[in-house]
A and B are shown apart, each in its own frame.
Chain A
Amino acid sequence: MRAALAIALLLIKEIFRKKDFYVALFLMGVILAYASQMKFYEVRSVTRYLLDLGLTLVFFLTVILAVSLGARQVPSEAAGRTLQVLLAKPVTRGQFLLGKFLGTFLAAAAAFGVFAAVFFGAAFAKGASFEGVLLAQAGFCFLLNLAVVSAMAVGLSPYLTVSANVSLTLVTYLAINLYGPGLKDAGAALAPPLQAVTWTLYYFLPHFEFFDLRQRLVHRWGALSPKLLLFLAAYAALYAAAFLVAGWLGLRRRKV
């Protein structure tokens, strides 16, 4: 665990010393500044729509950051030959991958904290208000979502190039968010072989939409029960572990 933590901390240091994070922060600032100039005329639905849009932006920018960071972990270490030096130390390949996952997740979580602070700072300044418990739950669920997506990008990084990994992870993430909930119903209308494929996908793929409490937060639909939160945490842990094990299998016997 010591080695994994050291690797994770190095990755966090990297993100705060490289420009990706600051570019995303700048982009976020520009969009929020633009949005804050809009006149809502106290139309509640428009205000809610803009809050939803802002939250989507915060979530999606963080996911992009996590994916781009996670996807390059194994390829960039291999290309720079730093992987050779690292694995020549008393570090197992499992510890290496775990460290990369922790680092990606923690760095993205820190970025999320900054983006969220900017967004909610602007929202509160414009007079918006949120339910405290629900706000905390939305943050917690997004962190679970971030853990799964970080594990997915890191887990795929021994197999794919950076661009292929970023594309595949983001397309999968978006597709599941958009079409995941309707997959079961869509499958019901199909012929048996296709139905089986669709339903397998439905039960096999991680349902990122489970972690999305944006609508609930913006429309004040009430907090989740502790039991449900616990289920979501276990669900996220299961998928994160599955992606990391898949990554480890790809790295285990790889010639470095």
Chain B
Amino acid sequence: MSGQAPLVNIRNLVKHFGPVAAVDDVSLQVGEGEFLTFLGSSGSGKTTTLFIVAGFEDPTGGDVEIDGRSVLSVKPNERNIGMVFQRYTLFPHMTVAQNVGFPLMVRRRPKAEIDKAVKDMLDLVQLGAYAGRKPSELSGGQQQRVALARALVYKPRILLMDEPLAALDKRLREDIQQEIRRIHRELGVTILYVTHDQEEALRMSDRIAVFSHGKIAQIGSGADLYERPADAFVAGFIGNSNFLQGSVVQSQQDQVAVRLDDGTVIRGNTRHPIATNARVRLMIRPERLTLTPSNDQHDQSLDVTLSDTTYLGDMLQHEVVTAWQQRITVRTNDHAAAASGNALKLHFASTDVMVFEDSSRATA
């Protein structure tokens, strides 16, 4: 993306529904061929942003540019954008082939060209044998694949997907995720994908924009969001996380020492400088914690009591409780640690501890 002009440029987008700001000053750029996911809970503004790009909603403010030109005055049917919806939107009275051919039919393309393109697209989504079926004779997963073929048959440069897999069960969802990834690679189409499923976002996207209350909380690769979350909200939203409360006793650029409520001092990292004595939240991923027997003397550790262990197949998940009765989740494949008794020591590597200033947006 660097140097090259973005294909889609969303600038300071605002959308009010009455007094509510559904989209509140969203700006982002999408590069040609990129797979960008809008991740957020319902009401976070992700779908509204997508619908503004599609042309079904008019923004209250801001602009959407495609190829450097504002598209706000372009009708949705003239934007030449593909879209797959959350609900099944195949035309019920048409066959699969007629559905896929519809965009070309309304473009008045010759029949031979339509037939060829329909066949190619159905082969791409591996439904060539279903051309003559009616949508009601297909499963949900097949219907969404036909919808995908229909959205791609006119070779749009941008494909919008609004939670296309939300109605499918987990196994099927993973199959179709793979298929969408494959098609993205094969066609090089730019995809804007909306989901509330962080696993789906991590699995599929080049970059993820995390939406919260109409704003983008953070935009970056999956690894960025997981390893270097911008705030406690993103940290809590992406992956599993443990939060501890404390106040800063020492602060030096991105290194801070935090005193927990029982007096233990833990060192960690921060993205923004934090003043001494500020109330903060410490975040640490369950798989980055280690447990040892309690007689082990060590820095950066807490005395905890083991309350529960769950066998997850590839890992063990321990629930431990601190002296002040806060539960912390630990994931490990070290089967020995917990065998030594209920009184344990919980260790924090300072590089794995993220420190965030306490804010009202934070969630546990």
Please say whether chains A and B are actual partners in one complex: no
